[in-house]
C-alpha cells in the first residue's frame, strides 16, 4: 500500500505515528496538519536520516504528488512509508484542525 486516505491519517496521528510534510517552508507556514514535521522534498535526500524509525511513516504534501515521490523513495530504502492522498489541502478542506504561522525552532 502506497497511499492512504485522510481517515487513515487521522487514526495514525491519534496512535502517535509520524507525519512528514515535504512541501516547502512557505507552504508549511501557511497551513499544516498539526504535528507534521517539515522535511522539504527539495532537501529530502540530504535529510533522509531525519525520518523517524516507526512502523509506518506518513508523508504529506499539498495534494499528493510530492508525497508519493517521497514515499516511493523511502520504500526503496526499506522504510514503510505511505503518501496521504488529498494532502494538506484535502485535510484543510475537510474542516479538520490545522496549524499556521512560522515554524517554531
pLDDT tens digits for 53-85?
Answer: 999 999 999 999 999 999 999 999 999 999 999
Measured CA angle at 18 (ends 15, 23), to 5 deg: 135
Q: Is a pLDDT exceeding 90 seen at residue 105? A: no
Q: Which CATH number fits domain 3-93: 3.40.250.10, 3.10.20.310, 3.40.50.10860, 3.30.70.1230?
A: 3.40.250.10
Of the listed 9, 20, 38, 61, which one is catalytic?
61
**Can 61 be counted among the known catalytic residues?**
yes
Query: What confidence tier does 103 reach under pLDDT thresholds 50, 70, 90?
Result: confident
Within the chain, how many helices (H) and strands (E) appear? 4, 5
pLDDT digits (tens, 9 = 90+) for 10-58: 999 999 999 999 999 999 999 999 999 999 999 999 999 999 999 999 9
Q: Is a pLDDT exceeding 90 seen at residue 1? A: no
Amino acid at each position: 500500500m502506497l497511499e492512504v486516505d485522510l481517515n487513515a491519517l487521522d487514526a495514525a496521528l491519534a496512535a502517535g505515528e509520524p507525519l512528514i510534510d515535504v512541501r516547502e517552508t512557505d507552504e508549511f507556514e501557511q497551513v499544516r496538519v498539526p504535528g507534521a514535521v517539515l522535511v522539504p522534498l527539495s532537501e529530502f535526500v540530504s535529510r533522509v536520516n531525519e525520518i523517524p524509525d516507526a512502523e509506518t511513516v506518513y508523508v504529506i504534501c499539498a495534494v499528493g504528488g510530492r508525497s508519493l515521490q517521497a514515499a516511493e523513495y523511502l520504500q526503496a530504502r526499506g522504510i514503510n512509508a505511505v503518501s496521504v492522498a488529498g494532502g494538506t489541502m484535502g485535510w484543510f478542506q475537510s474542516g479538520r484542525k490545522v496549524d499556521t504561522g512560522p515554524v517554531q525552532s
